[in-house]
């Protein structure tokens, strides 16, 4: 009995997840033929609450792509992989505190800020580098024009408010 109930519970959760995934997918399914451009997969996954690295994203895409990549991802292939990822809580989002510590690593002198040049250097030369567009967009919101620096505590606080 308990097992059955548990199964029902899981089924309900999965059903719910399926609806969520379908909805997110459909936002980008312009032709309504259950496919989306592969370049939108990142946006879809992230909007569902996941926070993969670019590397993880590439792996995910490899899993859902066709044998011969067409540039499009089909929903039938996407759904099971995405569901699994959500159930397993893969690609968990980063907490504020972790983010703060990451900035502090880049600011060993503990000044409380990074200069614009430092930010650019790290974001475009380290890790999984930003494109020029991404860099410009981040700078527009993050850099205080007077100090030409990013006060990362304030920045994080502002972004977190935005999200909610």
Partner 1 sequence: MGSSSSSQHHFAFQNAEKAFKASVLIQRWYRRYMARLEMRRRCTWNIFQSIEYAGQQDQVKLHDFFSYLVDHFTPSSHHEREFLNRMFTEERFAQDVETEKGADYESIEVPDSYTGPHLSFPLLPDHATALVEAFRLRQQLHARYVLSLLYETRKHLAQLPNINRVSTCYSEEITVCGDLHGQLDDLIFIFYKNGLPSPERAYVFNGDFVDRGKDSVEVLMVLFAFMLVYPKEFHLNRGNHEDHLVNLRYGFTKEVMHKYKIHGKKILRTLQDVFCWLPLATLVDEKVLVLHGGVSDRTDLELLAKLDRHKIVSTLRCKIRKESENREEQKRKVNQTSSGQRPTPWFLPQSQSLPSSPCHLGSGFKAYKACRSCSIPCSSGSVDHKEQSRRQVRRSVDLELERCRQQAGFPGIKEKREPLPWAPDDADCDADAGEVLEPTPEEWKQVVDILWSDPMAQEGCKANTIRGGGCYFGPDVTEKLLEKYKLQFLIRSHECKPEGYEFCHNRKVLTIFSASNYYEVGSNRGAYVKLGPALIPHIVQYQANKTTHRLTMRQRISKVEESALRALRQNLFAHSSDLLVEFKKHDASESGVITLSDWAVAVESVLHLGLPWRMLRPQLVNSSGDNVLEYKSWLESLAKEQLSRESIQSSLLEKLYRNRSNLETIFRIIDSDHSGFISLDEFRQTWKLFSSHMNIDITDDNICDLARSIDFNKDGHIDINEFLEAFRLVEQSCSEDHASACLQSTDTAESGQSSLGAC
In the complex, which residues of this chain contact partner 1 (CB under 8 A)?
16, 19-20, 23-24, 26-33, 42-47, 50-54, 93-94, 98-99, 101-103, 105-106, 122-123, 126-130, 134, 137-138, 140-141, 159, 162-163
Backbone angles phi, psi at 63, to 5 degrees: -70, -35
Q: Is the Cβ of residue 87 or residue 160 nearer to partner 1 in the bound state?
A: 160
Q: Is the Cβ of residue 1 or residue 109 nearer to partner 1 in the bound state?
A: 109
Q: Is the Cβ of residue 62 or residue 98 nearer to partner 1 in the bound state?
A: 98
How deeply is 81 buried, as exposed, middle or buried, from its count of CB atoms within 10 A (0-12, 13-18, 19+)? middle
> Please, what is the angle between helix 54-64 and helix 75-87, to 10°?
130
- Non-local (6+) Cβ contacts of 77 within 8 A are 64, 65, 66
Residue 26 C-beta: closest distance to partner 1, Å: 7
Residue 69 C-beta: closest distance to partner 1, Å: 19
Q: Is the Cβ of residue 63 or residue 126 nearer to partner 1 in the bound state?
A: 126
Question: What is the three-class DSSP state of 52?
Answer: coil
């Amino acid at each position: 009995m308990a097992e059955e109930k548990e199964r029902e519970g899981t089924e309900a959760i999965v059903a719910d997840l399926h609806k969520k995934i379908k909805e997110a997918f459909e936002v980008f399914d312009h032709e309504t033929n259950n496919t989306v451009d592969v370049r939108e997969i990142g946006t879809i996954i992230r909007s569902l609450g996941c926070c993969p690295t670019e590397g993880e994203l590439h792996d995910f895409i490899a899993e859902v792509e066709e044998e011969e990549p067409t540039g499009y991802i089909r929903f039938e292939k996407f759904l099971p992989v995405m569901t699994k990822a959500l159930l397993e809580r893969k690609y968990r989002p980063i907490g504020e505190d972790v983010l703060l510590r990451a900035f502090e690593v880049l600011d060993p002198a503990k000044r409380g800020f990074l200069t614009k040049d430092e930010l650019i250097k790290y974001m475009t030369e380290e890790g999984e580098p930003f494109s020029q567009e991404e860099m410009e967009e981040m700078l527009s919101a993050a850099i205080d024009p007077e100090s030409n620096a990013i006060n990362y505590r304030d920045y994080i606080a502002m972004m977190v408010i935005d999200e909610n």
